[in-house]
Amino acid sequence: MTTPSPDDIVWLTTAPNEPIAQMWAADLRNENIPVMLKPGGPGFGAWASAATFEHELFVRQTDYARARDLLTELEDVDFSVAADEDDEEWDDESDAERS
């Protein structure tokens, strides 16, 4: 059995579809973590697009811990938006422009 190399490519996670996989990959690349995506499903061309299929993300062994921490941090982000006065004011201006 060989000793794993720091440059070995390892599976990081599986995204539910291509847009999310691309978003996660962009976040990783912004942190200087190279990432490779592999589409799931029956293969390219079978359904005309692999965008709706799961995509696996792979990184180097040396980047695995940082990549995992980053994705964990991103998944804990609260995406709910609370309306504030600025949002209501903008909505009122938009309504006036449409009239």
The answer to whether 25 and 74 are in contact (CB under 8 A) is no
Tokens of 41: 């499903």
Q: Is residue 1 part of a domain?
A: no
Q: Is residue 38 part of a domain?
A: yes
Q: What are phi and psi of 33, to 5 degrees?
A: -110, 110
pLDDT tens for each residue of 55-77: 999 999 999 999 998 988 877 54
Q: Is residue 2 part of a domain?
A: no
From CA 78, how far away is CA 39, in angstroms rounded?
27
Q: Is residue 84 part of a domain?
A: yes
Which CATH number is 63's domain given? 3.30.70.1530
| Owning domain of residue 36 | 9-98
Characterise 43 by phi-psi region: left (phi > 0), alpha (psi -120 to 50), beta (else): left
Q: Is residue 4 part of a domain?
A: no
Tokens of 37: 């995506």
Sign of CA dihedral 47, 19, 74, 61: positive
Domains contained in the chain, number = 1
Query: Quick one: what percent of the chain has pLDDT higher than 90?
Result: 34
